């Protein structure tokens, strides 16, 4: 009888101990689950916050764009893709085949620039092709040189819509096209394509205007013109998407 009571006592201790251990393990599991759930909620909140920040970082979303240029812009390829990439509301294509810098702002008016948020001027390759005198950084808008024409374009645009952001885009490298000078050779005036690129950068910097240097940043050069252009000058679909990525990256800086 005595041994039996002792056995029952030990069994009860074992049962109580098992119950306490089980309860502790249950509570511990619940605590772990609660922590995991809290961590998941925190991570999801962080992800959502990052999404919101990323969307808010796109200052060009729903903006309107006025694209000035030559035949590269008139083909309407790179503007079409860039509009979607930048989430723009709309763009206006102001371009003319064969256009030189001297006429880039000819169609700029208060009507055309009404409700425009930013303006790009993408040109210079025709000035290289048709031997526009380069001039120098001291040329003002009255001087018929590439430097002077750049200043004329800037003055016309900024006086018409001083609130719009103005951005210049340099030409890309190019190859043999329509009996025009072939990069890296000089034109008949003795000027190289990079001289016109440098002029765009000089005058833009003088006026505190952003420059997107496709000449050096696009990755399009004399070694891959067959891949990224349709005719050694005009970007094909792959070329347009390539330069659009550069334009987007530079605009968002």
> What one-character-per-residue DSSP string does 222-241 give?
TTSHHHHBSSSSSB-HHHHH
Which residue from 106, 249, 121 is spatially nearest to 196, judged by alpha carbons? 121
Q: How far apart are CA 239 and CA 48, in angstroms?
A: 34
Q: What is the pLDDT of residue 202?
A: 98
Decide: 128 and 171 in contact? Cβ < 8 Å: yes
pLDDT at 17: 55
Q: Which whole number is the average pLDDT over 182-198?
A: 98
| Chain segment 199-219, per-residue pLDDT in tens | 999 999 999 999 999 999 999
The radius of gyration of the chain from alpha carbons, rounded to an integer in Å, stands at 32
| Cα–Cα distance measured from residue 118 to residue 101, given in angstroms and rounded to the nearest whole number | 19
Q: How would you classify the pairing of strands 210-212 and 118-122?
A: unpaired
pLDDT exceeds 70 at position 223: yes
Torsion, Cα 50 59 202 124, to 10 degrees, reads 110
Give the tens place of pLDDT for each residue, 13-67.
666 555 544 555 555 555 545 554 554 555 555 445 444 434 446 899 999 999 9
**Rounded mean pLDDT, 180-194:** 98
What confidence score (pLDDT) does residue 216 get? 98
pLDDT of residue 3 exceeding 70, the answer is no
Q: 239-243 long-range CB contacts below 8 Å, 24 or more apart?
A: 240/77, 240/78, 240/81, 241/81, 242/218, 243/78, 243/172, 243/214, 243/218
Give the 3-state secondary structure of residue 124.
coil
pLDDT at residue 105 tops 90: yes
């Amino acid at each position: 009888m005595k041994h039996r009571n002792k056995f029952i006592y030990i069994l009860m201790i074992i049962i109580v101990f098992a119950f306490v251990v089980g309860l502790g393990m249950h509570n511990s599991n619940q605590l772990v689950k609660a922590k995991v759930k809290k961590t998941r909620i925190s991570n999801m909140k962080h992800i959502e916050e990052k999404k919101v920040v990323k969307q808010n970082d796109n200052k060009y979303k729903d903006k309107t764009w006025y694209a000035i240029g030559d035949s590269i812009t008139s083909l309407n390829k790179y503007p079409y893709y860039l509009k979607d990439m930048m989430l723009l509301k709309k763009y206006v294509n102001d371009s003319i085949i064969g256009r030189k810098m001297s006429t880039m702002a000819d169609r700029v008016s208060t009507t055309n620039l009404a409700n425009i948020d930013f303006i790009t001027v993408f040109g210079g390759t025709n000035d290289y092709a048709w031997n526009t005198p380069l001039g120098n950084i001291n040329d003002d808008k009255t001087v018929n040189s590439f430097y002077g024409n750049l200043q004329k374009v800037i003055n016309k645009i900024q006086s018409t819509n001083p609130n719009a952001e103005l951005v210049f885009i340099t030409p890309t490298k190019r190859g043999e096209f329509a009996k025009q000078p072939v990069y890296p050779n000089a034109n008949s005036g003795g000027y190289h394509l990079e001289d016109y690129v440098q002029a765009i950068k000089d005058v833009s910097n003088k006026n505190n205007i952003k420059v997107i240097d496709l000449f050096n940043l696009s990755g399009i050069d004399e070694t891959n013109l067959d891949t990224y252009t349709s005719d050694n000058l005009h970007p094909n679909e792959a070329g347009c998407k390539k330069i659009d990525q550069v334009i987007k990256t530079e605009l968002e800086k």
